[in-house]
Chains A and B, each alone.
Chain A
Amino acid sequence: MFDDRSPIYRQIAEQIKQAILTGDLQEEEQVMSTNQYAAFYRINPATAAKAFQELVDEGLLYKRRGIGMFVSPGARERLRSQRRERFFADVVEPMVAEARAIGIPLREVIQWLEQREDEEER
């Protein structure tokens, strides 16, 4: 279910972030409890709690005493701007490196993107 390359709690945090980004989790919506996460992924609840703590520290979730965890207002926009900042380094650079490694000239990549843009505008 998880790859072993990063700690499970970080992977859970990433999944929740992804759900916020795509809108599967709306702002002010309640998130499943740590116990539900723990039971679903068969992990210690303290590990699941760590994922939630990380998201609280980043201001993406907040806690309502006795009720549970909720998505913070503005969480989606915050994530979007974080990802936009890292987009070229995280997504475009590896693509350029791959293109170079297999001998696709950047010119061809640009043409492909331009064609794609035309299609989208149509």
Chain B
Amino acid sequence: MIERIDIDRLTLRYGDVTALDGLSLSLEGGKIYGLLGRNGSGKTSLLSVIAAFRKPTSGDVRINGQPVFENQAITSQIAFIRESGDTVEDTEKVESAMRYAAYLRPNWDAEYAARLLERFEVPTKARIGSLSRGKRSALGIVLGLAARAPLTIFDETYLGMDAPSRYAFYDELLNDYMAHPRTFIISTHLIEEVSRLFENVVIIDRGRLVVHDDVETLLNRGTAVTGPADVVDRFVNGYTVIGTRQLGRTKSAMVYGHLDPEQRAEARAAGLDLEPLALQDLFVHLTEPRGDQS
């Protein structure tokens, strides 16, 4: 069981590039986490350090209080699936990848793996190198789910998968998580598609933590206030406005921060329309290049 993951002032540099910049974060076990960030924000670096694939330049990651790096007792509990599911040599066959996994993974469920391979139509006799991008991703998903590892990390494992296969993945993930509760961290660009699967969301930018909260709380913090421009301007005065749009005399301002029921009633009385912001919108505004912010 993973009780908690504590990431303390984590810094990772490649030459003069700083991928992680003193990032601290604590995660409770037993939840599905979404890790969001723009390209180059440090998602893969962070996941690689959590999975002990990389040694940090400074700071550390502890799971249940134990440092993860070069700690076999901990790393055997982590399944880290990278974007193309590249876990085994290309010249090997899918069926041998299954055999290795059975050997390496203490909780491996061979029957479940076989069922998943069938569902995602991955040919077991094929060489891994000959699989299409989508089938390779599906193979990664099979290896990740059937490992039943206490901590399972999917780093954008959906490349080349079509929508029906991605939805099959979401269904399998959710059902297997409910049947065998454990910790998942899923990094993705397809925010709207998967956001409902997450219990918590972590957003990072430039190697730093931007926000970590449960999805509902985060969604409650973003509101689009729409109405006549002058009324909107008067209402949002004093709030953190993270973006505006205007169409003729109608204006929509995106407010970041909690609105209490009184403030909501006040807005409605003034004839304003309030709508929660979608996670995608919040994400875009929280990670916008700073030069573009007003």
Using C-beta atoms within 8 Å of the partner chain, give the interface range for chain A: 10 to 19
A96 within 8 A of B: no
| Inter-subunit contact A43/B178 (CB<8 Å) | no
A108 within 8 A of B: no
B177 shortest CB reach to chain A, Å: 8
B interface SS class: helix
A44 within 8 A of B: yes
B9 shortest CB reach to chain A, Å: 29
Q: What residues of B have a CB within 8 angstroms of the CB of A7 in the complex?
A: 216, 219-220, 276
**Also in contact, A5 and B199, with CB within 8 A (given A38-B178, A42-B170):** no
Cα–Cα, bound, A111→B219 (Å): 45
| Inter-subunit contact A44/B196 (CB<8 Å) | yes
Q: What residues of B have a CB within 8 angstroms of the CB of A38 in the complex?
A: 174, 178
| Inter-subunit contact B174/A47 (CB<8 Å) | no
Cα–Cα, bound, A50→B110 (Å): 35
Q: What residues of A have a CB within 8 angstroms of the CB of B212 in the complex?
A: none
| Inter-subunit contact B198/A44 (CB<8 Å) | yes
A-B contact pairs, 27 of them (CB 8 A): A4-B275, A4-B276, A4-B278, A7-B220, A7-B276, A9-B216, A35-B178, A38-B174, A38-B178, A39-B175, A41-B196, A42-B167, A42-B170, A42-B171, A42-B174, A42-B197, A43-B196, A43-B197, A44-B174, A44-B197, A44-B215, A45-B177, A46-B31, A46-B199, A46-B214, A47-B199, A47-B215
Residues of B participating in the A interface, judged by any CB pair closer than 8 Å: 31-32, 167, 170-171, 174-175, 177-178, 196-199, 214-216, 219-220, 275-276, 278
The 5 lowest CB-CB distance pairs between A and B, nearest first, are A43-B196, A46-B199, A35-B178, A44-B199, A5-B275
